[in-house]
């Protein structure tokens, strides 16, 4: 039986059947928000409970603060050791490795190890046949913070889909959001882009339907995004958002887009038509949003939110 | 528009850092490694594979399924559940592991169709444990069966007998029995006498108010199927733990994990139980939502008296087991954040005590219960403790499953054979009887034997 505490799922005010019943759930050191469109609030709550049980299960696999998690077991593995992990952990780490490669190292869950790593030896090797991961470095220290929560959001949305929910908005700590379907009275979910240093200032808004948005910002708690290529904190005062098919990808890419230069972000979007980027800096472009997205095969550079 | 909590002004991008304190090194005590070996081989070796089926991949079944898949050379070949929703969930997980499985609704068909199974994991509701486990044993399979082994003593006895008659292994899911943290605590209490003489205990499982479990629309079982398998409604099937026909109630669901620890550590079942409780806080259910029990144990001719409570309206202080002796107290829990030793001021100081790092817990100085930091007399770390520490990083159910699989392969002892689980079943189910009767019940030693 699950021993997840029932009071971890909280009803939130302001919801209704058309725009979604609202719930909040604390996990992975943040608050997940769920907005679920359904005629009955009690049904929406049961579906939310099932979705949050999945988030809770993933935290047990992915958190570096849970001693028995897959990530903790990888951390304590000796070089050369094979560690069997869950398919979800394997999927997350394979995605992280893929994004690392696609962003030329701008996204890096092993950034804490990177300075001491041999560039020719990847820290992890995958053996999907046995669901094992080979650890190739001593003192491995992975940080899935910029991907795991988005992944959990995707899985929660999948569970809601199992429960027959056709429209929902699920976010992790308001930094990554996955939009399933659309509310009854609109064609898409409308999501605001907040200025990171001024909580009540909206820079723009974006409409999402069966898409995810991830955001990274710099002002609130000082600089905390490390450029894995230099090991130093990113010094530009910016925010970056990524629109992607999944929240895991949007989560990871928004972090990478903080690190990459606007030119590099533009090039990335040109190569990945399903990804859009929005960048913001108070100094550049008179504080306007810069958007890169592929429309009709062309990457457009535009100002103002799309 | 999007923010569920601030009524839709804007998005707030906050990458909060985790704030947790690092664990503090603990007491220098030797521990012993159990006789069964860790499953080591990383690569798949078909010739060594154990072929497994699961009956009942519901919420706990899924947990066991996931843990099994971390253990090398375990191959699921079939699953069985009366609810297609559960069947699909489990089959989809197993598909990711390249384990195509045959799916059954009826366990008789499973046993008829899967002749080459080595073992079956039974994670169905408690009231059918006996039926399912006994059928599997009689079909020549080893069985891992979730606790409570049965919601009736007749069922539990029949399971013990079936295991004996068939000579097959039956492990019951009291997973603390395979948890190195608990062995470490047991050794501190029993061998090192860290608490002096244990005189009392105090334990609880408090959890917040439950809401009813639902089911996805359109996926409910039809009335005929429900009736065939003994349920009147889909609600009964989903919320079976609240019904006397199907479950032993919270004393069995939760209390049995913890009373099992007392039977184990005190090395005897209880002598008497006095209990109060009731269904006071929920509508349209049957089992007591709160039980408060006082147990009496006779240990070496002396009384050990302890309090146990299970509540379903508050999560205050969560779940733990505390042992109290005349030289100190020890708190342990499956929740790895809880593990402390409190020494009485007047107790004679142990030679290692000054070495041990202290933490503040419950407003007092405490020694953290931490395995792997064990020191030998020469001041070096105890390698056995290090090995135990590695084990303790595994999820608790995985360790208990490994113990089961090791027993099949290597004939190492089970940590929770049915005779042991039966003592625990008597211990908790009789507390329910004491609530119903409104009186103190004395156990006869024979009651715990089959």
Instruction: State pLDDT tens for residues B232-255.
Output: 999 999 999 999 999 999 999 999
Domain boundary, last residue among A184, A213, A244 = A184
Give the per-residue pLDDT at A167.
Answer: 97
Mean pLDDT over B175-192 rounds to 93
Lowest mean pLDDT among A48-62, B358-372, B404-418: B358-372
- The number of CA neighbours under 13 Å toward the Cβ of A284 is 13
Question: Scanning the structure block, which residue is given the tokens 């990459």?
Answer: A260
Single out the residue of B430, B379, B421 nearest to residue B400, CA to CA. B421
pLDDT at A237 over 70: no
Exposure string of A59-85, with b = 16+ CB inside 10 Å and e = fewer, is bbbbbbebbbbbbbbbbebeeeebbbb
Cβ–Cβ below 8 Å for A2 and B60: yes
The last residue of one of the domains, among A184, A216, A250, is A184
Measure B6 CA to nearest chain A CA, in Å.
Answer: 9
pLDDT band (50, 70, 90) for residue B7: very low
Report, as an integer, the average pLDDT of B103-120: 97
Cβ atoms of B263 and B269 within 8 Å: the answer is yes
Chain A residues near residue B211 by CB distance under 8 angstroms:
6, 45-46, 49
Under 8 Å CB-to-CB from B380, ≥6 apart: which residues? none
Does residue B108 or residue A79 have the better pLDDT?
B108
What is the pLDDT, as a whole number, of residue A67? 83
- List of chain B residues whose C-beta atoms are within 8 Å of the C-beta of residue A193: 10-11
B1:A189 CB<8 A:
yes
Indicate whether B381 pLDDT > 80: no
Q: What's the total number of domains in chain A?
A: 3
Predicted confidence (pLDDT) per residue in B53-72, tens digit: 999 999 899 999 989 988 98
- Residue-level pLDDT at B45: 62
Decide if pLDDT at A206 tops 60: yes
Find which of A15, A67, A223 to mutate to test the B interface (most B CBs within 10 Å of its CB).
A67
Average pLDDT over residues A238-262: 93
- The fraction of chain A above a pLDDT of 90, given in percent, is 53
A94 CA: distance to closest CA in chain B (Å): 15
Residue among A68, A85, A191 whose CB faces B1 most closely: A191
* Reported confidence tier of residue A223, pLDDT bands at 50, 70, 90: low
B200: its two tokens: 């009392």
Q: Say if residue A159 is in the same domain as residue A278.
A: no
Nearest residue, CB atoms, B208 vs list A5, A33, A146: A5
**Which residue carries 């009955």 as its tokens?**
A40
Write down the pLDDT at residue B275: 98
Whether A14 and A148 map to the same domain: the answer is yes
Q: Does the pLDDT value for residue B29 go beyond 60?
A: no
Instruction: Tell me: pLDDT of A299 over 80.
Output: no
The whole-angstrom distance between B209's CA and the closest CA on chain A is 6
C-beta atoms of B1 and A129 within 8 A: no
Q: How far apart are CA B64 and CA B267, in angstroms?
A: 28
Give the model's confidence band at B391: pLDDT under 50 very low, under 70 low, under 90 confident, else very high. Answer: confident
Residue B220: is its pLDDT beyond 70?
yes
For A57, nearest residue in chain B (alpha carbons): B63
Q: Which residues of A touch B214 (CB under 8 A)?
A: 42-43, 46-47, 49
Provide mean pLDDT across the span B292-316: 97
What does the pLDDT read at residue A285?
Answer: 60
Task: Give me the pLDDT at residue A288, please.
Answer: 77
Is A125 in the same domain as A257? no
Q: pLDDT band at A306, cuts 50/70/90?
A: very low
CATH number of the domain to which A305 belongs: 3.10.520.10
- Complex ipTM value: 0.82
Contact status, residue A37 vs residue A165, Cβ threshold 8 Å = yes
Across A203-217, average pLDDT: 91
Q: A226: pLDDT confidence band, cut at 50, 70 and 90?
A: confident
Mutation for testing the B interface, residue in A38, A194, A243 having most B CBs under 10 Å: A194
Q: What distance in Å separates the CA atoms of residue A302 and residue A240, rounded to the nearest whole number?
A: 15
CB B103 within 8 A of CB B78: yes
Contacts of B3 in chain A (CB under 8 A): 33, 171, 174, 192
Residues of B in contact with A167 (CB under 8 A): none
Task: Average the pLDDT over each of A114-118, B106-110, B133-137, B188-192 and give the range with the smallest value.
Answer: A114-118
- For residue B257, which residues of chain A lie inside 8 Å, CB to CB? none
Q: Is the same domain home to A20 and A151?
A: yes
Quickly count: other Cβ atoms within 10 Å of residue B33's Cβ. 16
| pLDDT, position A95 | 95
pLDDT of residue B375: 62
Contact A216 B15 (CB under 8 A): yes
The pLDDT score that the predictor gives to residue B18 is 20
- A87–B16 CB contact, under 8 Å: no
HEC profile for chain B? CCCCCCCCCCCCCCCCCCCCCCCCCCCCCCCCCCCCCCCCCCCCCHHHCEEEEEECCCHHHHHHHHHHCCCCCEEEEEEECCCHHHHHHHHHHHHHCCCCCEEECCHHHHHHHCCCCCEEEECCCHHHHHHHHHHHHHCCCEEEECCCCCCCHHHHHHHHHHHHHHCCCEEECCHHHHCHHHHHHHHHHHCCCCCCCEEEEEEEEECCCCCCCCCCCCCCCCHHHHHHCCCCCHHHHHCHHHCCCCCCHHHHHHHHHHHHHHHHHHCCCCCEEEEEEECCCCCCCCCCCEEEEEEEEEECCEEEEEEEEEECCCCCCCEEEEEEECCEEEEECCCCCCEEEEECCCCCCCCCCCCCCEEEECCEEEEECCCCCCECCCCCECHHHHHHHHHHCCCHHHHHHHHHHHHHHHCCCCCCCHHHHHHHHHHHHHHHHHHHHCCCEECCHHHHCC
Q: Which residues contact A241 (CB under 8 A, 6 or more apart)?
A: A193, A206, A213, A214, A215, A216, A254, A257, A277, A278, A279
Mutation target among A59, A146, A174 for the B interface, most CBs of B within 10 A? A174
Which among A33, A46, A131 is the nearest to B3, CB-wise? Answer: A33
Span of A48-62, A260-274, B306-320, B385-399 with lowest mean pLDDT: B385-399
Question: Do A75 and A122 reside in the same domain of the chain?
Answer: yes
Residues A101 and A158 in one domain: no
Output the CA angle B172-B64-B162, nearest 5 degrees: 30
For residues A243 and A255, the answer to whether their CB atoms sit within 8 Å is no
Instruction: Report chain A residues whose CB lies below 8 A from the CB of B4.
Output: 12, 14-15, 22-24, 33-35, 169, 171
- In this complex, the residue of B2, B207, B393 whose CB is nearest that of residue A169 is B2
Please choose, from the candidates B168, B172, B178, B142, the residue with its C-alpha nearest in 3D space to the C-alpha of residue B155.
B172
Residues A150 and A29 in one domain: yes
Same domain membership, residue A59 and residue A9: yes
Domain span including residue A230: 187-306
Q: Which of the pair, B312 or A203, is modelled with greater confidence? A: B312
* Per-residue model confidence as pLDDT tens digits over A14-71: 888 888 999 999 999 999 999 999 999 999 999 999 999 999 999 999 999 888 899 9
If asked whether residues A180 and A191 sit together in one domain, one would say: no
| A235 band by pLDDT with thresholds 50, 70 and 90 | low
Question: Do residue A159 and residue A33 come from a single domain?
Answer: yes
Chain A residues touching residue B1 (CB < 8 angstroms): 189-192, 205
Q: Are residues A101 and A58 in the same domain?
A: no
A33 contact residues in B (CB cutoff 8 A): 3-5
Reported confidence tier of residue B351, pLDDT bands at 50, 70, 90: confident
DSSP state of A287: G
Strand order in the sheet with B142-145: B102-104, B74-80, B50-55, B119-122, B142-145, B170-172
Same domain as A299, residue A214: yes
Boundary (domain end) residue, out of A124, A152, A184 = A184
% chain A with pLDDT above 70:
90
A224, HSE (Cβ side, Cα atoms, 13 Å): 16
Tracing tokens 């139980």 back to the chain, one arrives at B273
Nearest CA in chain A to B316: A5
Distance CA(B195)–CA(B341), nearest Å, equals: 9
Which chain A residue shows the shortest CA-CA distance from B393?
A: A68
Its pTM stands at 0.87
Q: Which residue has the higher pLDDT, B62 or A115?
A: B62
Whole-number pLDDT of residue B343? 92
């Amino acid at each position: 039986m699950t021993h997840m505490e029932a009071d971890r799922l909280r009803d939130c005010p302001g919801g209704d059947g058309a725009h979604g019943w609202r719930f909040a759930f604390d996990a992975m050191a943040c608050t997940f928000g769920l907005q679920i469109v359904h005629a009955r609030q009690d049904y929406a709550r049961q579906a939310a409970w099932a979705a949050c049980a999945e988030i809770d299960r993933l935290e047990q696999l992915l958190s570096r603060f849970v001693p028995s998690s897959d990530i903790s077991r990888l951390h304590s593995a000796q070089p050369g050791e094979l560690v069997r992990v869950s398919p979800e952990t394997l999927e997350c780490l394979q995605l992280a490795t893929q994004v690392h490669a696609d962003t030329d190292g701008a996204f890096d869950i092993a950034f804490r190890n990177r300075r001491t790593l041999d560039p020719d030896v990847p820290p992890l090797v995958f053996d999907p046949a046995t669901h094992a991961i080979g650890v190739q470095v001593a003192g491995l220290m992975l940080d899935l913070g910029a991907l795991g929560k988005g992944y959990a959001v995707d899985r929660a949305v999948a569970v809601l889909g199992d429960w027959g929910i056709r429209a929902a908005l699920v976010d992790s700590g308001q930094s990554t959001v996955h939009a399933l379907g659309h509310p009854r009275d609109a064609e898409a979910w409308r999501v605001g882009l907040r200025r990171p240093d001024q909580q009540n200032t909206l820079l723009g808004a974006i409409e999402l339907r069966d898409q995810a948005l991830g955001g990274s910002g710099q002002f609130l708690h000082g600089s905390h995004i490390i450029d894995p290529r230099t090991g130093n904190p990113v010094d530009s005062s910016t925010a970056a958002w990524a629109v992607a098919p999944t929240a895991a990808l949007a989560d990871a890419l928004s972090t990478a887009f903080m690190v990459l230069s606007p030119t590099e972000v533009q090039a990335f979007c040109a190569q990945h038509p399903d990804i859009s980027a929005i960048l913001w800096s108070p100094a550049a472009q008179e504080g306007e949003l810069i958007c890169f997205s592929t429309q009709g095969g062309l990457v457009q550079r535009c100002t103002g939110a799309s | 528009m999007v923010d569920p909590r601030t009524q839709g002004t804007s998005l707030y991008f906050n990458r909060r850092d985790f704030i947790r304190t690092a664990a503090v090194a603990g007491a220098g005590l030797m521990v012993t490694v159990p006789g069964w070996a860790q499953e080591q081989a990383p690569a798949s070796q078909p010739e060594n594979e154990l072929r497994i089926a699961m009956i009942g991949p519901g919420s706990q079944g899924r947990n066991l399924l996931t843990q099994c898949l971390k253990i090398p050379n375990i191959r699921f070949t079939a699953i069985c559940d009366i609810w297609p929703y559960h069947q699909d969930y489990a089959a989809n997980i197993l598909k990711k592991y390249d384990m195509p499985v045959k799916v059954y609704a009826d366990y008789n068909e499973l046993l008829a169709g899967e002749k080459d199974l080595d073992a079956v994991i039974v994670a169905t509701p408690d009231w059918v444990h006996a039926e399912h486990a006994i059928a599997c044993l009689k079909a020549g399979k080893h069985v891992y069966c979730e606790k409570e082994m049965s919601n009736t003593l007749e069922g539990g006895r029949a399971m013990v007998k079936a295991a004996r008659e068939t000579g097959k292994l039956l492990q019951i899911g009291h997973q603390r029995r395979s948890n190195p943290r608990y062995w470490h605590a047991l050794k501190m209490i029993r061998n090192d006498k860290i608490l002096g003489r244990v005189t009392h205990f105090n334990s609880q499982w408090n959890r917040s108010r439950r809401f009813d479990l639902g089911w996805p629309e359109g996926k409910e079982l039809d009335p005929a199927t429900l009736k065939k398998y003994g349920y009147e409604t889909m609600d009964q099937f989903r919320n079976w733990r609240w019904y006397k026909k199907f479950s032993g109630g919270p004393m069995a669901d939760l209390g049995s994990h913890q009373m099992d620890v007392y039977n184990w550590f005190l090395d005897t079942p209880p002598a008497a139980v006095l209990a109060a409780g009731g269904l006071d806080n929920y509508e349209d259910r049957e089992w007591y939502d709160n039980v408060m029990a006082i147990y009496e144990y006779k240990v070496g001719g002396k009384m050990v008296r302890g309090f146990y409570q299970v509540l379903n309206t508050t999560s205050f202080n969560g779940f733990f087991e505390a042992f109290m002796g005349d030289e100190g107290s020890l708190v342990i829990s499956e929740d790895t954040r809880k593990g402390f030793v409190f020494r009485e001021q007047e107790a004679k100081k142990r030679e290692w005590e000054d070495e041990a790092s202290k933490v503040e817990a419950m407003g007092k100085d405490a020694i953290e219960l931490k395995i792997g930091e064990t020191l030998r007399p020469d001041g070096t770390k105890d390698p056995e403790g290090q090995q135990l520490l590695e084990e303790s990083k595994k999820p608790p159910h995985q360790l208990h499953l490994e113990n089961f699989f090791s027993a099949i392969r290597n004939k190492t002892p089970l940590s929770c054979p049915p005779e042991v689980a039966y003592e625990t079943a008597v211990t908790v189910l009789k507390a329910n009887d004491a609530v119903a009767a409104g009186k103190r019940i004395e156990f006869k030693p024979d009651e715990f034997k089959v």
